Structure 1
Amino acid sequence: MADKINLVQKKRVQLQAAIGDLGALVIQALNQSVVCLKAHDLILAARIIEADAAINQQRRLLEQQCLVTLAAYQPAGEDLRALGACMELVSELERIGDYAGDVASVMLKIGEERLPPEPVAAILGVAGNAIAMLTDALDAFTSNSDESTARAAVVREAQVDRDEEAIIQQVLGRMRTDAGFALTGTYLLWIVHNYERVADRATNVAERAVYVAAGQTPDLN
């Protein structure tokens, strides 16, 4: 019995570490999307989209490992919660990686036309907060942090929502007075929404960390 428990805990540690590795790939893609937006780097945009295949492949591999571990070891208690959370976070992280690719795709649609610096600067602020939330939430999950640490990881979620709303109003205001800005404004709204969704899904990661630590799932959104 003790040997089985040790094996389950070993697999749990391995899978949580693998979730951390997948998260690192996703965060790298998000940071690259920020550079792409800030520098209007279309070559980097194409690379981000190409690299998304590696994230998708890693998701499939980790899903299989999670399923095999759950079936073979039939964990219980905190180990079961952790392995079940790993299964959920594999999908969550893959979707967050898609947001980086979506930003890159928008940049390629925009082409060589430069975006106005003021809304771009505001969007970069939203992106920075969202990526920081995801980083902290993943750290809380992979390090088996306590409930308070997991909750603290995503306290900026309300600020991200407020900042997104301010950008939306700013962009819509200009679109109302300048018909020629409509397409550019639409692109800006797409981009900021992708980063806001990163923050939303970071709260899901934090909720999983709380669930593992405390056995209950809060609503942190």
Structure 2
Amino acid sequence: MPDSLNLIQKRRLHLQAAVGELGARVVAALHQSVTCLKTQERELAERIIDGDLLINQQRRSLEQECLVTLAAYKPAGEDLRAVGACMELASELERIGDYAADVARILVRDVEGTLPAEPVAAIVELALEAIGMLEQTLAAFMANSNEATLRAAVANESAVDREEDAFIAQVLERMRADAAFAATGTYLLWIVHNYERVADRATNVAERAIYVVSGHTPDLD
């Protein structure tokens, strides 16, 4: 880090880097869960569930570092907003990681047999959109990007909501027509909702990042 940076600025950069590392682990878990949805590989599902413990530990460590920074360095202004945002993003990212683990648990513990290809493909498309939003938002946060860039990163959130609504309608229609599809349909609805929540929380991340650079918190929902 440049010598010209003062101690709090160095701490801020360190904490932002830690958020980036946690975010990368969460994004990797989400991509693994999409692969697991397509393959229904039990071993992969178990690895995702086990990996969630590491995400939880990393979150607690990052929160502790944020608290120590607040107490020891007493940041102000944008630095204070950044440290506070890092602590909040640790919680947001840990919860997003839970969605990947929840999908894996459904696949390994609830689903019996092979999920139908067409609804799985629809969920995968939605999931990749939501994960892409999170990736772009984290990249913008790490780069201290401006508000316009952060808003653009989550511009597809409404589209993801509409896709989920359309998917739910199709699955419910099939469930009404075929009672034997009820359990499978329920699992599909649980899974798609987890990925829709990724998009929602990516929007939360963008709101906190905008607060850091601008001092105000927009409502992006």
Q: Give the TM-score category using the shorter length.
A: over 0.9
Cα offset for 1:112?
4.8
1:178 is matched with which residue? 178
Does the CA contact (< 8 Å) of 2:111 and 2:184 recur in 1? no
Q: CA deviation digits over 1:96-127, x for unaligned, max 9?
A: 00000000000012445001111111000110
Alpha-carbon separation, structure 1, partners of 2:84 and 2:33: 30
Deviations 1:178-201 (A, max 9, x none): 001000000000000000000000
Alignment of 1:40-119 (within 5 A): 40-119=40-119
Q: 1:142-172 CA deviation, whole Å, 9 max, x = no partner? A: 1101111111110110110010011100000
One-letter amino acid matched to 1:181: F
- List structure 1 runs of 4+ shifted beyond 4 angstroms: none
2:33–2:48 Cα contact (<8 Å) kept: yes
1:218 match: secondary structure: coil
- 2:172 partner letter: L
Alignment of 1:28-39 (within 5 A): 28-39=28-39
Matching residue of 2:161:
161
CA contact under 8 A between 2:175 and 2:182: conserved in structure 1? Answer: yes
**1:125 aligns to what SS in structure 2?**
helix
Alignment of 1:190 with 2:190, yes or no, is: yes
Matched-pair contact (CA < 8 Å) for 2:126–2:160: yes
Alignment RMSD:
1.3
Whether the 8 Å contact between 1:210 and 1:217 is mirrored in structure 2 is yes
Question: Counterpart in 1 of 2:216?
Answer: 216
1:204 maps onto 2:204 in alignment: yes
User: What is the CA distance between 1:138 and its match in structure 2?
Assistant: 0.6
Shift of residue 92, structure 1, vs aligned partner: 0.5
2:49 and 2:105 in contact (8 A); partners too: yes
SS at 2:6 equivalent: helix
Write the distance in 1 (CA, Å) between the matches of 2:217 and 2:204.
Answer: 10
For residues 43 and 73 of structure 1, the distance between their equivalents in structure 2, rounded to whole angstroms, comes to 45
State whether residues 42 and 111 of structure 1, in contact with CA within 8 Å, keep that contact through their aligned partners in structure 2.
Answer: no
Shift of 1:42: 1.5
Tell me how far apart the structure 2 counterparts of residues 165 and 67 of structure 1 sit (CA, whole Å). Answer: 40
Distance (whole Å) between structure 2 residues aligned to residue 112 and residue 175 of structure 1: 17
Equivalent position amino acid for 2:164 in 1? E
